[in-house]
């Protein structure tokens, strides 16, 4: 059995996959190791892979357009950890990335799953495809709720600026 199967079994996006389904997905995975600060992908780049964090952390950053007091023009909107996935919108479309992903720690290990291969697997095995898309929808819904809460917090609890 492929060594990625045990890890995939613990990842939310592959929740309730059968051992056979996990094996099929694991055969598509390629492991990549990133150093701290290494760019995994940039905002507005093409979207063709799903990533699952095996070890370490990944920061998701958005470009603000203007620099802050530290000279940075990117803001971290999330820090993802072991078992979490990112780049999942690539499974829905091949549009441009809405944020950048950067390794937050030394030796961040990722599983990279190419969009075309996972889509072909979903089409070949509809039950696997249904379960993956269900889990993907649940994951995206949670991320949207968390974003909504952060926006509400900023709007409702941030002190008004003096003009």
If one counts every other C-beta atom within 10 angstroms of the C-beta of residue 136, the result is 18
Is residue 108 included in any domain, yes or no? yes
* Cα angle 115, 109, 70; round to 5: 95
Helix (H) / strand (E) containing 129: helix 126-157
Q: What is the predicted pLDDT for the residue at 21?
A: 97
Is residue 163 included in any domain, yes or no? no
Q: What is the predicted pLDDT for the residue at 150?
A: 81
* pLDDT at position 68 over 70: no
Is residue 30 a contact partner of residue 64, using CB atoms and an 8 Å limit?
A: no
Using one digit for the tens of pLDDT, what is the confidence trace for 35-59?
999 999 998 888 899 999 999 999 9
Q: Which residue has the tokens 């357009």?
A: 65
Q: What is the mean pLDDT of residues 124-144?
A: 93
- Count: domains in the chain: 1
Q: What is the mean pLDDT of residues 71-89?
A: 84
Q: What is the CATH number of the domain that holds 35?
A: 2.60.120.10
Is residue 162 included in any domain, yes or no? no
Q: What is the predicted pLDDT for the residue at 26?
A: 96
* pLDDT at position 64 over 80: no
Domain that holds residue 52: 5-116+124-157
* pLDDT at position 69 over 80: no
Q: How far is residue 25's CA from residue 28's CA, in Å, rounded to a whole number?
A: 5
């Amino acid at each position: 059995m492929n060594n990625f199967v045990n890890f995939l079994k613990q990842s939310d996006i592959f929740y309730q996959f059968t051992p056979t389904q996990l094996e099929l997905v694991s055969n598509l995975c390629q492991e990549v190791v990133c150093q701290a600060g290494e760019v995994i992908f940039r905002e507005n780049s093409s979207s063709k892979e799903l990533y699952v964090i095996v070890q370490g952390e990944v920061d998701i950053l958005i470009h603000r357009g203007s620099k802050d007091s530290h000279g940075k023009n990117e803001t971290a909107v999330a820090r993802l950890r072991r078992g979490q996935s990112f780049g999942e919108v690539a499974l829905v479309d091949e549009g441009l990335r809405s944020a950048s992903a950067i390794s937050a720690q030394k030796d961040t290990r990722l599983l990279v799953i190419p969009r075309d291969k996972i889509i072909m697997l979903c089409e070949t095995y509809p039950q696997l495809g249904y379960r993956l898309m269900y889990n993907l929808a649940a994951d995206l819904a949670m991320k949207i709720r968390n974003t909504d809460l952060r926006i509400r917090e900023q709007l409702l609890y941030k002190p008004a600026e003096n003009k």
